[in-house]
Structure 1
Amino acid sequence: DALHIVTPEEEFLLSAKDPQIRAVWQWKLNQAVHRVLNGKRDFPFWGNTSENWEPPVCRFFTYVFRAEGKLKNVVYEGEWCWGKPHGKGTLKWPDGRNHVGDFKNGLEDGFGICLIPHVSEDRYDCYKCHWKEGKMSGYGICEYGDETVYKGYFKDNLRQGFGILENPSSAKQPFKYTGHWENDKKSGYGAWDDKDRGERYIGMWQEDHRHGQGIVVMQSGVCYQRTFEMDRMVGSGILLLEDDSVYEGSFTQELMFVGKGKLTFLNGFTLEGTFSNKSGHGLQTQGILNTSGDQQDDKVTKVQLGMEEFPVEKRWWGIYDQFLEFTHSGCKGEMEETFLGFHVQTSKELQKSQESLFCERGPEEVSGKIEDVLEEIIQHQEMESMQCYLEKAMKSSLHPLGKLLKALLAAFQATYSGTGANKHLLTMAQEEVKHYAKKIWEFYWALLQMALEQKGLPDQNAYDVILPLILPRFYPDLFLLYMLYHEKEDDLYCQGIIDLSIFSDTKLLELLEVQKRSLVKDRCFLSATECLQKLMTTVDPQEKLEILQKTCEEIENTVSRVLEKEYKLPMDDLLPLLMYVVSRAKIQRLGAEIHLIRDLMDPANEGGMYDFLLTALESCYEHIQKDRIHQRESWLMSRDT
């Protein structure tokens, strides 16, 4: 005949003499709960009520905790279940701190916003995070009182996994770190922007220190690769100077050569020996100067960094791990990186934008709920339908694949845009974009397998499906690297185009030794020229190859029309006509375009018709450069004479 009484802070048993008294007590207790929940103070006589016998298990009420502990004198207003905060609610501390969000079994669990005031200043630290069993766990945004912002993942209240920490430009020491964290410290692969010095460090970290292999890129264009031990450079490295000279050896933080090293100049000359820098005496060396010029200019200027030191599959594992954890868990809603849409209006800080690193809330054509995601994936298995669905998914701020792409884009831009736009990082960048396409395709297929409960891989590949969808996001920064990498060749090519433009159409065709004299007439191949110019308006390498093929078809059509019969051009006839079209199309950065196509095109095209046509375009590009070189050499010889 006992009653078990559960209150927010204690539990006890109420013992009755017999079942009748127990029933009376239970009835009176339940009626008291009803009256308090309904805001009434009168107490009805026995049996004189029309209210339900049992009060609701889940309730909404305000309570002030009195017992010693974490919540002493804290006010909780919100939903309860079995005597504990459960559901949505607000905690308010006497010192001004408050937490608004989801609770489970008395602890913060789910999405919540916590404000912590600074004691001596009118500022707050605002944590907009996911919580688990009372601790920050999962994705969150922390806006600190000094305007520093962290966007990333937590575990047990500590930064853990991938995250971005940024101090605004208005701060005394503005910076931005994009990378991995462990136990609240920078650890693993990451990129650090020192906005004051105009430097970017890309490489390995350990306990908030640069530790391991790293690349430093400066706004001036100088960059170097060294090994670091707790922020101190050790051993030898490679230094790429602004004038395209390359130094291999030991050097100081101020980029002074010290000890044994080898300096390779742009013309291929090398200086190898022991270097020293004495105050007031400049650079001194004892060594051997080799003027044989064995190395070519392009070998010197196109050194690529980081490929062996930072394998592409190991760079951003933190982003991939979060996605895998989400999918392997069965895509539980509480693990999603999006906010849950719980609106709060307790202060100006809490009314700030409820965003996340990967999503801005808004009307979406594709759902972010995992049940809808899996159902939609099943409905879009045909190639054309799949591509349409994936295109919408990539643009969605709620779809898991869309959020993944935004995270990868943030990591890419943090590495290669701005200060990181350096030609010596091109290979790292283009390999990274291809790897993104591969991983997104694998993850999409994993979701499809989950939906169908099947195993296996599709016939299509990432080049067919994913790369055309994601490349527009990365294209501006990536193409800038290609432009920088091929700047000298493209400048030489452009000068060659200018030289060829002084010739009339008929004269140029004669100059190119076109065999069919009947083709020599003004404004020939205008349609082919206009077609090739479309190369600059597309992003997808496959589309660029199709434009090149269409250009060659237009050349053949023109020849057939002039000759009044169908004519298939052999390579000996096609190449000079294609060169004519290239010279008239005047594509400024053709070298960058060609190499981007070559690097990112589907490997299945290698050795086929597209590969053949691309090789022909490369031949035209190189021929125009060489003509320019020969013209320059002839001019120099005539001047000297």
Structure 2
Amino acid sequence: MRHGHGLLRSGKLTSSSPSMFIGQWVMDKKSGYGVFDDITRGEKYMGMWQDDVCQGNGVVVTQFGLYYEGNFHLNKMMGNGVLLSEDDTIYEGEFSDDWTLSGKGTLTMPNGDYIEGYFSGEWGSGIKITGTYFKPSLYESDKDRPKVFRKLGNLAVPADEKWKAVFDECWHQLGCENPGQGEVWKAWDNIAVALTTSRRQHRDSPEILSRSQTQTLESLEFIPQHVGAFSVEKYDDIKKYLIKACDTPLHPLGRLVETLVAVYRMTYVGVGANRRLLQEAVKEITSYLKRIFQLVRFLFPELPEEGSTIPLSAPLPTERKSFCTGKSDSRSESPEPGYVVTGSGLLLPVLLPRLYPPLFMLYALDNDREEDVYWECVLRLNKQADIALLGFLGVQRKFWPVTLSVLGESKKVLPTTKDACFASAVECLQQISTTFTPSDKLKVIQQTFEEISQSVLASLQEDFLWSMDDLFPVFLYVVLRARIRNLGSEVHLIEDLMDPYLQHGEQGIMFTTLKACYYQIQREKLN
């Protein structure tokens, strides 16, 4: 009898009804939250189940780009819902069956015109309408259209309600009946027993564990001891423990992460790679972080709560000048993640690399149109030589490199020189595409600014302080020359997942500058 979280494959790809379900079972019946991939029909359902049928709130996406979120009753779309087509036509109202409009609703066209009234008929097969047609002014249309898209997600299953059975199973492995309710020493005993048992089983099995795997398992059996006030060093110890634990499926936390990666990929690949699902995918990651952080704080009670600042045990060894203000400061305006305790700072480095491919694909799909405009402009402007482009962008002449060092030789910048000015900064910014977490991407942006500054210092041979009016055109040049294909997706990912405390610091200002460059490049097309 199937009971608990699991995956069921029905039929084969060659059969008449291949499908996959991943979710919770109660007494051999689908129950709670689950994802059903109907490969034959090219549809994916993400929502609530009861007694083996879709019941409650859910979302359906199809291979043809249709998106529905709303109520389900006995496997049918029934009650209130929102339906979006690929061309941004939206229906909000009542349904009586799958893709069948029936009752009061509003149909909004891609240009902002809308019809309010009573609808009946199946989507795509002709709909009978009794209602009123509205044609708002251009100003009203632009103002109102985004509101509909902001409503998306209201009728979907809340992120914290998804995969509860997976998290409950992890808590049970730690000896807790309910989340956070149990003895910490008992949880550590259960972890040690699980790891020791697994190690003994592997010893007797034909699959011999490598020496490093055995050492990792042994190290995870010991409880990290922390005596005295909590410090950055102790925070780093916890971080190292979590990295090892999450890399080990035999550890309850490792098993949890492995399962979450499986359900996330099952949800958002294939038909699930639908741009309408981006915000759901982001909310799901945020929810994972919050719930895993609760587990971590249970295992390490001395770990301060979210947003707390860990006092530095010693001041930073060197005094540094703030890049933006020029003031000397013993610590950065935006401290490294580690001084401020956040679930994302602690857990994103572990979780995000595993979830990155499906997540970034959703960002790329969602930003497809604006990135095409941006990329067309990047290709057009990059046809110019360095001096011509610096002049076009309004970079002050004193910042134009006069000579360049190529393989140790000093060469003069000629009117025909191309892709040579600020080359180290360009190369640095290109690394943004090879990193996963917002904090790592922000460090790349910060390093790029510092490379620009070093290049200008070498050229001017005197100390100076940037003003944003001087800096912006130079940075815009570097962004154009870096030719980052999905820069819009990078910008939106950082914006959605970065730690809030970084937004007002130095890295936050630098990120805002990058974002401004991205939008400025799109506007260059109009000039």
Q: Classify the secondary structure of the residue corresponding to 1:472.
A: helix
Structural mapping, 1:269-284, within 5 Å: 269-277=113-121, 282-284=126-128
Deviation at 1:376, TM superposition (A): 4.7
Deviation at 1:499, TM superposition (A): 2.0
Name the counterpart of 1:62: none
Of residues 247, 252, 258 in structure 2, which corresponds to 1:395? 247
Name the counterpart of 1:433: 285
Of residues 363, 388, 409 in structure 2, which corresponds to 1:482? 363
Name the counterpart of 1:165: 8
Name the counterpart of 1:68: none
Q: In 2 relative to 1, CA 368–525 (structure 1 residues): closer, same or farther, beyond 3 Å?
A: closer
Deviations for 1:62-95, whole angstroms, at most 9, x for unmatched residues? Answer: xxxxxxxxxxxxxxxxxxxxxxxxxxxxxxxxxx
Q: Distance in 2 between matches of 1:367 and 1:342?
A: 12
Of residues 235, 239, 259 in structure 1, which corresponds to 2:79? 235
Structural mapping, 1:3-402, within 5 Å: 158-170=1-13, 171-251=15-95, 253=97, 255-277=99-121, 282-286=126-130, 287-293=132-138, 294-296=140-142, 299=146, 302=149, 305-306=152-153, 309-328=156-175, 330-331=186-187, 332=190, 362-363=209-210, 365=212, 373-378=220-225, 382-402=234-254
Matched, 1:528 2:425: yes
Q: In 2 relative to 1, CA 308–567 (structure 1 residues): closer, same or farther, beyond 3 Å?
A: farther
Q: Distance in 2 between matches of 1:205 and 1:446?
A: 31
Name the counterpart of 2:455: 558
Q: Distance in 1 between matches of 2:166 and 2:255?
A: 10
| Structure 2 counterpart of 1:186, one-letter code | K
Q: In 2 relative to 1, CA 369–566 (structure 1 residues): closer, same or farther, beyond 3 Å?
A: closer
Deviations for 1:342-372, whole angstroms, at most 9, x for unmatched residues? Answer: 69xxxxxxxxx99xxxxx9954846699996
Q: Distance in 1 between matches of 2:151 and 2:515?
A: 22
| Structure with the higher strand share, 1 or 2 | 1
Number of corresponding residues: 456
Q: Distance in 2 between matches of 1:455 and 1:526?
A: 43
| Structure 1 counterpart of 2:172, one-letter code | E
Q: In 2 relative to 1, CA 342–328 (structure 1 residues): closer, same or farther, beyond 3 Å?
A: closer
| Structure 1 counterpart of 2:265, one-letter code | Q
Q: Classify the secondary structure of the residue corresponding to 1:502.
A: coil
| Structure 1 counterpart of 2:266, one-letter code | A
Q: Classify the secondary structure of the residue corresponding to 1:273.
A: strand
Q: In 2 relative to 1, CA 627–482 (structure 1 residues): closer, same or farther, beyond 3 Å?
A: same
Q: Distance in 1 between matches of 2:435 and 2:125?
A: 54
Q: Classify the secondary structure of the residue corresponding to 1:220.
A: coil
Deviation at 1:473, TM superposition (A): 0.3
Matched, 1:447 2:447: no
Q: Distance in 2 between matches of 1:369 and 1:212?
A: 44
Asked whether the 8 Å contact 2:33–2:162 carries over to 1, the reply is yes
Q: Classify the secondary structure of the residue corresponding to 2:224.
A: helix
Q: Classify the secondary structure of the residue corresponding to 1:282.
A: coil
Name the counterpart of 1:408: 260
Q: Distance in 2 between matches of 1:548 and 1:333?
A: 40
Q: Distance in 1 between matches of 2:122 and 2:351?
A: 52
222-231 or 160-169, which deviates more: 160-169
Deviations for 1:135-175, whole angstroms, at most 9, x for unmatched residues? Answer: xxxxxxxxxxxxxxxxxxxxxxx433322222253444221
Deviations for 1:313-349, whole angstroms, at most 9, x for unmatched residues? Answer: 2211111111111213535489959879769xxxxxx
Asked whether the 8 Å contact 1:192–1:201 carries over to 2, the reply is yes
Could you tell me the TM-score, scaled by structure 1's length? 0.65
Deviations for 1:23-67, whole angstroms, at most 9, x for unmatched residues? Answer: xxxxxxxxxxxxxxxxxxxxxxxxxxxxxxxxxxxxxxxxxxxxx
Asked whether the 8 Å contact 1:302–1:423 carries over to 2, the reply is no
Asked whether the 8 Å contact 1:199–1:216 carries over to 2, the reply is yes
Q: What RMSD in Å do the two structures reach over aligned CA positions?
A: 3.3
| Structure 1 counterpart of 2:436, one-letter code | V
Deviations for 1:388-447, whole angstroms, at most 9, x for unmatched residues? Answer: 332222211212211110011112112212211111111121122122233333323323
Name the counterpart of 1:508: 389
| Structure 2 counterpart of 1:255, one-letter code | W
Deviations for 1:282-323, whole angstroms, at most 9, x for unmatched residues? Answer: 344342131524233972795563356422222111111111
Asked whether the 8 Å contact 1:304–1:424 carries over to 2, the reply is no
Q: Distance in 1 between matches of 2:504 and 2:124?
A: 59
Segments of 5+ residues of structure 2 without an aligned counterpart are 177-185, 227-231, 311-340, 402-412
Q: Distance in 2 between matches of 1:278 and 1:184?
A: 34
Asked whether the 8 Å contact 2:67–2:83 carries over to 1, the reply is yes
Q: Distance in 2 between matches of 1:305 and 1:386?
A: 38
Q: In 2 relative to 1, CA 467–367 (structure 1 residues): closer, same or farther, beyond 3 Å?
A: farther
Q: In 2 relative to 1, CA 620–487 (structure 1 residues): closer, same or farther, beyond 3 Å?
A: same
Asked whether the 8 Å contact 2:70–2:156 carries over to 1, the reply is no
- The answer to which structure, 1 or 2, has the higher relative contact order (CA under 8 A, 6+ apart) is 2
Q: Distance in 2 between matches of 1:252 and 1:308?
A: 16
Could you tell me the TM-score, scaled by structure 2's length? 0.78
Q: In 2 relative to 1, CA 439–295 (structure 1 residues): closer, same or farther, beyond 3 Å?
A: same
Q: Distance in 1 between matches of 2:436 and 2:478?
A: 21
| Structure 2 counterpart of 1:411, one-letter code | V
Name the counterpart of 1:424: 276
Deviations for 1:444-490, whole angstroms, at most 9, x for unmatched residues? Answer: 332334xxxx7865843222221111110000011111111111111
